[in-house]
Amino acid sequence: AGRKSLFDGKTLNGWDVLTCKAEVSEGDILITAGNGLVQTKGQYKDFVLEFDWKNLDAKFWDSGVYFRYTEVPKGRPWPGRYQANLRKGVEGNVGGIKGASSTGLVKPNEWNKFKLTLKGADIALEINGKPAWKSTGLQFVEKGYISLQAEVPQGGKHRFRNIFITELTGK
């Protein structure tokens, strides 16, 4: 399959904007208002997801990247799981997965590079080229959407760029 870009740097082609406002600004995806998701049109099973992100609020920020979900429950702005958090102090942590947390690898107010690997029940994260954690315990759906989540009213203005996916196949 090979590594492919999920974002062309010019348009939101390949993405659906749900319950928020998003635009392409200076070659980045910028979520400008609301609580919601910028969700891939396609669903993915096992993959390596690479992306750069930067918080824009210097005091507090809250966003995240959701993966392996098939729908957003009615009346909610985002799914129940799984999320690689981009909230101040817990960047990269995935709730509900034992050992899926780290501290000290994120550079506040600067560009950060995440590399998230999902294979079966296993999950791992690299932050800025350094191993953050490896764990296991992913459940529920085998295949699902990936989305950039925003809580703009709570400081969730973030920029995203260089979004790549490498689908993993085989045993």
In the chain, what percentage of residues exceed pLDDT 70?
A: 97
Query: pLDDT tens digits for 63-92?
Result: 999 999 999 999 899 898 899 999 999 999
- Judged against a pLDDT cut of 60, whether residue 171 lies above it is answered with no
Q: Is the pLDDT score of 146 beyond 90?
A: yes
Amino acid of residue 153: P
* Nearest one of 148, 166, 161, 160 to 36, comparing CA atoms: 148
> What local confidence, expressed as pLDDT, does residue 114 receive?
98
Which residues make Cβ contacts (< 8 Å) with residue 28, sequence separation at least 6? 9, 159, 160, 161
Half-sphere exposure of 27 (CA within 13 A, CB side): 3
* pLDDT, tens digit (0-9, with 9 covering 90-100), for 103-140: 999 998 999 999 999 999 999 999 999 999 999 999 87
Whether the pLDDT of residue 57 is over 70: the answer is yes
- Mean pLDDT in the chain? 93
Cα 126 to chain centroid, rounded: 13
